[in-house]
Structure formats: structure tokens, C-alpha cells
Chains A and B, each alone.
Chain A
Amino acid sequence: MFSNIMVPVDRAHADKLSLAPDTAAKLAKLYRAPVTYVGVKAATPGPVARNPAEYDRKLAAFVAARSEADGIEVHGKPFVSHAPAADLDDALIRTVNETGSDLGVMATHDPKIADVLWPSNGGKVASHTNASVFLIRG
């Protein structure tokens, strides 16, 4: 039913937000679909990594660990952005298109009034791609 699953990962909160990757892994096994983890990082030093190279290594390590633990085909796609908060949606949409993903499994928060001003990432992906979007609250 699904041929490729896209999962954004926030490496700053990777330890806390495992629900979306866990769910994606179960769906991937069910449909024998590979999972592509997308990470968006600024070029400037941040809490996760002090440069893009370090971020790449960390995402690769995360992807390898998930691949081993879940026993599925997993890919990593790091994006280095000048303004991650503003560019996240574009990075996700681009990944969906480039990888031909037909499902996005994304962590989300409870709806807030601020969503009126800044729509959720899941909503943006759903409205700008052909992929289905599975939002995981947590």
C-alpha cells in the first residue's frame, strides 16, 4: 500500500520522540517499505552538532541504529538550512518528492491558537504533496 515512508526527526529531542519512528517502523515492516529519516540543521553550531559534518555523522549513526533495531531498510537525508524553523516545510516537501514517499509519519503537538498563524508542518506536507500524512501526537 505504501512504497516509501518519510519521517522527520528532530535530533535535539531524539530521545524523547520515539513514537513516530516506532510507528513508522511497524508500518514499514507491514508494507515492506523503506523509511527515509529527514533531519534539518543550521550550518551554525547548535546543541545537536557544531557543524554540518558532525550532524551528518549523528544522523547516520541514528539511522544505522534504527536499521539494526527495526530490521528494515532505512535511509537518512540531512538538510542543512540557513533558517531551519522557516525552511523545515520546504525540506520535508522536497524529500517527499525526491524519494517518492507516499506516506509521512510525523510527530505533532496538541493544536494551539498559534497554528492559525504558523500552520503545522504535517498540514503543509499534506497540502503540498500527494503523500498521506500520519500525525502522531506525543
Chain B
Amino acid sequence: MSDTSGPGIPAPEGPSNRIDTGYEVGQDNISMSVGPFGLDIHNPVFAISGLTIIAFVFVTLAFQESTGAAFGDLRDWLTGTFDWFFLTAANIFVLLCLFLIISPYGRVRIGGREATPDYSYTGWFAMLFAAGMGIGLMFYGVSEPISHFSSSVAENAGTAESWAPLGGAAGDAAEARDLGMAATIFHWGLHPWAIYAVVALALALFSYNKGLPLTMRSVFYPIFGERVWGWTGHVIDILAVFATLFGLATSLGFGAEQANAGLNHIFGIPVSDVSKVVLIVAITGVALMSVVAGLDAGVKRLSEINMVLAALLLAFVLVVGPTMAIFTGFFHNLYEYARYLPELSNPFGRTDDNFRHGWTAFYWAWWISWSPFVGMFIARVSRGRTVREFLTCVLIIPSLVSVFWMTVFGGTAIDQLVNDGYQVVADAPLELKLFAMLEALPLQQITSFIAIVLVIVFFVTSSDSGSLVIDTITAGGKVDAPVPQRVFWASFEGLVAIALLLGGGLGALQAMAVSTGFPFTIVLLLACFAILKGLHSEPR
């Protein structure tokens, strides 16, 4: 009677070990109309998340100085005091992922033993990068290797004031270069992707295999049982919405500042509030079209466009830059990464406090605070992969791509600085370092323009995928909630960014978003336990 052909996902699935719960997805939802728009929202997650975010924005705007100092102090205290905790936790995530790849659990298939992948490798990879890291690679691809190289080679490397990793290599340019690249790759390699992979695997497993709603709370069913449908789960989901929206809104605000600086640098467009607001409105507008178009026609298509543009830019720098040095540098950097990894990931007995607190612990808190968003998005598009395939593709391959990206962009910049004496790349402000590097290469007008487009579209792909995630959480795990809800969250995110940009307070709320990384680290450690427990009961 009924066939199973469809436009995207082949049905089913085969044996999997479903969790028997009396909870029905959406049972706590309220269906209502606001004017002409129908809504299907979780009670109380939607209301509390929305109202708390509004309250925080008002408090931040009203008491800018005190909140800025308070949230900044909180972040510094957390990353300074609990650096060992962040570093240890991130190491655990990497080790767990590597263990799962080689263990028999790797055979478990997400979505059931006979499920087949929803997306091709190309579309899948494009979305992984576009949601989670693309924008960072654009900004830090040049600036971070240069920063670590400069601090490592400086005369004061190794002193208490220095920001050099592992005491640096004062006066030794070759060693400082290796250390700088290794430290950068450390922050963009296995550890951040392991953080995303843990959250994504946990969500995918408990949603597609166990049959629980696609929200953060579901991961904790093995620990809290039926209580996850009550306030315990509400708090987890609200925290996830909170971290995601503030993370996105503050990134959007800062991103607009950086994109504005880039446009000013290339085209002379004035740096002003008007320019920044126009950029935010434009980015939000495209993100709105993308979320309305859905995952396949919107987010995936934009991600693929971005991947092609990024590949073109990468290939260009590779060809016109120091090509041979980059190729040999890739393997050399991998070796240096492996060589320094034990020291860089060691949480105890180190003296490079500035680097450990200000860079590594900050990064880990930042990745972890983004993990509910990126993890949930990765989970949603990863049905049909085995755990081994999933982790190889979410952990190993993106790490290698990050190494290659950093080698091409950072390696070229360091080469320009050391071999050509091109000081501009070191002296340029953070948001312009990429453009400074491109300026020393041919066709800089074109490549800088592509870079600006990439930056903006990466923001769009973060904004639309983030809005889909927030919408799903605040709809109790339903992915078919009315479209106006997604429109609301994407617009809300843009409005929060504009309010904070004009009123001040972007830094304060970004500090607070990063601070949510601390409770989420505990949440993620519990998720590791839940993953093992969940996988153990799956047919392999």
C-alpha cells in the first residue's frame, strides 16, 4: 500500500534499542496564534528563554560598566581558576572519541542498523564547517599563527608577562614558527571538534536511535530518567538556548564590526554604526530567507556555496603563495602538532599562565558554549552514518582540514613576515590581518572581496543553522514547528546584536556566553557517560 520512496531520506532503519518513555514529543507544547501567525512552542522553555534574554539585554544596556566588568571578571575567573578543568575535560572528549572510533561501538549506526545517510559527503562537510568553524578560520587563520609566532619569538618569551605558549622560543624564529603553528592547530584541531562530536553524537544517538526528542535534555535520560521532561530538562534546554543566542548575537555584532573594517579597508566604506547595522540587517535578511527555505534549499545550499568559495581562496593562496613550503609545511606542522600536543594539552604544572588561561581555556569554554548549537546541528544532518564514520568525519577529517587551512593562511603570513620582512601582516589589527596577508599577493582586490563575501556568508550560515537549532529546542524537539517561529528567532538574534552594538555591551554578553562554557563542561562530561551507556545497549 505505501511505498517508501521520498525526496531525501530513505526509510527505515532496522533494529535499534529505543527507550520506552511515556513522554510524547511536543506534549508540553502550546499551540496558539499571535495575530495571523500560528505558533507551536514548548511551555515553559520558549517563554523563559525569550524573556530572560530580553531582561539580560536590558540589564546590560542599563548597567553597561558594571555588567561589563562583572561578566568579564566572571569569564576571567572561570578560565583562570578552572583552566585545569577545561583542559582535562577536553582531553577526555578527544580520548573518548578516539576510543569509540577503534572500539566495537564504532559499528553502531545512527538511525538504526539499516539506516542510510541523509546527505552526501559534500553537503555534510559543507554544513559541518559552515555552522561550526568557518567564520573562525577566516579571522584566525592568519592572526592566530602570527600572534603565537610573535609572542614566542619575542625577547620576553617565557616571562610572566609573555603570552607565548609553553614558554616560547625567544630569538629562535624557526622554533617559534613551529610552536606558533602547533599552538594554533591545537586550538582548531582535535579538541574543538571532539567537543562538537561528543554533543552531536549524544544528541543523534538519543534522538535517532532511542526515539527521544531532538533537544539537549534527551541526552540526560540515562542519568535523570523521566525527570528530564520536568524542570531538570527545562533548565538544560534554557541554558542551551541562552548560550546559542548570545553566542550568535555577539558574534554577529563583532562580525559586523570586523566586516565593516574589511569593507573600509578595501572599498573605503566608512566605519560607522549605520554601516554595521546595515550589515547585520543584510546578514539577518539572508539568514531569514535561508531558514524559510529549509535545510536542503537554504542552509545546505549556502554552505556548499561557501565551501566552493573557501576552496577557491585556499587554492589561490596555495598557488600564488609559497606552494612548496606550504605542502611540506602541512606535514611538518602535523608532526609539530603531534610533538607539542602532550605539553599543550597538559593541564598541570605549567608556567605559561597567560597562554593557558587567555587562549586555551578561553577557547575551550568558547567551543563548549557553542557546542549545543553546533552539536545539535551536526546531529540533525548526520543520520545514517556509523559511529566510526561519524567520528572520523567530525573529528579527524575536519582537524586535518583545519591544519591545512592554518598552514596555507598562517604559514604564508609567517613566511611573508620572516622571509620577506613584510611587517604589515604583524602590525595590522586583528580584523585586518587576513586582508594584510592577501595584499601582498597578486589580485588582492578580487581575493579580498571573496574573503569579505566568505566572512559574511559564514555569518549567514551560522545564523540560519543557529536559528533552526533554537527553534527546535524551544519547540520541544519538533522540527516541523510553524515557519514564523524560525523567523522570530533569526530576527530576534539580529535585533539583540543591533541593540548591543548601538548600546554597547557586546563584550559583556560575549563574556557571559563564554562563561556558560563552565556548566556545559559538566553537562558534556555527563554526556560522555550517557553516550557509553546508550551505545552499550545498541545492536552492533
Shortest beta-carbon distance from B266 to chain A in Å? 35
Partner of A60, one of B1, B112, B380, B480: B1
Query: Is A83 part of the binding interface, using a Cβ–Cβ cutoff of 8 Å?
Result: yes
Partner of B298, one of A50, A77, A86: A86
- Main secondary structure on chain B at its contact with chain A? loop
Q: Are A46 and B25 in contact (CB under 8 A)?
A: yes
Q: Name the segment of B11-19, B224-232, B302-310, B415-423 touching the other chain.
A: B11-19
With contacts A44-B214, A45-B207 taken as known, whether A76 is within 8 angstroms of B8 at the C-beta atoms is no
Query: What separation, in Å, do the CA atoms of A104 and B383 have in the docked complex?
Result: 32
Query: Is A113 part of the binding interface, using a Cβ–Cβ cutoff of 8 Å?
Result: yes
Query: Is B328 part of the binding interface, using a Cβ–Cβ cutoff of 8 Å?
Result: no
21-62 of chain A: CB within 8 A of chain B: 41-47, 50-53, 55-56, 59-60
> Interface digits, A75-87 against B, CB 8 Å rule (1 contact, 0 not)?
1111111111111
Q: Are A45 and B211 in contact (CB under 8 A)?
A: yes
Query: Is B120 part of the binding interface, using a Cβ–Cβ cutoff of 8 Å?
Result: no
Shortest beta-carbon distance from A77 to chain B in Å? 7
Interface size on A, residues (CB 8 A): 39
With contacts A86-B292, A90-B7 taken as known, whether A76 is within 8 angstroms of B2 at the C-beta atoms is yes
Q: Are A87 and B296 in contact (CB under 8 A)?
A: yes
Q: Are B1 and A78 in contact (CB under 8 A)?
A: no
- A residues within 8 A CB of B383? 43
Partner of B9, one of A74, A80, A86, A118: A80
Query: Is B133 part of the binding interface, using a Cβ–Cβ cutoff of 8 Å?
Result: no
Instruction: Kindly report which residue of chain B lies nearest to residue A74, judged by CB atoms.
Output: B1
Instruction: Kindly report which residue of chain B lies nearest to residue A118, judged by CB atoms.
Output: B483
Partner of B12, one of A44, A56, A118: A56
206-245 of chain B: CB within 8 A of chain A: 207-208, 211-214
Query: Is A105 part of the binding interface, using a Cβ–Cβ cutoff of 8 Å?
Result: no
Q: Are B112 and A51 in contact (CB under 8 A)?
A: yes
Shortest beta-carbon distance from A97 to chain B in Å? 12
Q: Are A43 and B36 in contact (CB under 8 A)?
A: no
Query: What separation, in Å, do the CA atoms of A67 and B211 have in the docked complex?
Result: 30
Shortest beta-carbon distance from B228 to chain A in Å? 14
Q: Are A94 and B2 in contact (CB under 8 A)?
A: no
Shortest beta-carbon distance from B483 to chain A in Å? 5
Query: Is B285 part of the binding interface, using a Cβ–Cβ cutoff of 8 Å?
Result: no
Query: Is A6 part of the binding interface, using a Cβ–Cβ cutoff of 8 Å?
Result: no
Q: Are A51 and B296 in contact (CB under 8 A)?
A: no
Q: Are A83 and B294 in contact (CB under 8 A)?
A: yes
Q: Are B11 and A52 in contact (CB under 8 A)?
A: yes
Q: Are A81 and B213 in contact (CB under 8 A)?
A: no
With contacts A51-B13, A77-B3, A85-B294 taken as known, whether A46 is within 8 angstroms of B8 at the C-beta atoms is no
Shortest beta-carbon distance from A53 to chain B in Å? 3
Query: Is A91 part of the binding interface, using a Cβ–Cβ cutoff of 8 Å?
Result: yes
Instruction: Kindly report which residue of chain B lies nearest to residue A80, judged by CB atoms.
Output: B9
Query: Is B6 part of the binding interface, using a Cβ–Cβ cutoff of 8 Å?
Result: yes
Q: Are A51 and B12 in contact (CB under 8 A)?
A: yes
- B residues within 8 A CB of A45? 25, 207, 211-214, 477
Q: Are A52 and B479 in contact (CB under 8 A)?
A: no
Query: What separation, in Å, do the CA atoms of A81 and B484 have in the docked complex?
Result: 19
Q: Are A42 and B2 in contact (CB under 8 A)?
A: no
Query: Is B134 part of the binding interface, using a Cβ–Cβ cutoff of 8 Å?
Result: no
Query: Is A64 part of the binding interface, using a Cβ–Cβ cutoff of 8 Å?
Result: yes
Partner of A44, one of B2, B208, B292: B208
Shortest beta-carbon distance from A103 to chain B in Å? 20
Query: What separation, in Å, do the CA atoms of A85 and B294 have in the docked complex?
Result: 8
Besides A63-B2, A75-B2, A85-B483, 4 new A-B residue pairs in contact (Cβ under 8 A), listed by A number: A45-B212, A47-B24, A86-B294, A91-B6
Report 25 cross-chain contacts, Cβ distance below 8 Å, ordered by A residue: A41-B480, A43-B208, A43-B383, A44-B380, A44-B477, A45-B213, A45-B477, A46-B480, A47-B24, A47-B26, A50-B18, A50-B211, A51-B13, A51-B112, A51-B208, A52-B11, A53-B11, A53-B12, A53-B112, A60-B1, A60-B2, A82-B294, A85-B483, A87-B8, A118-B484
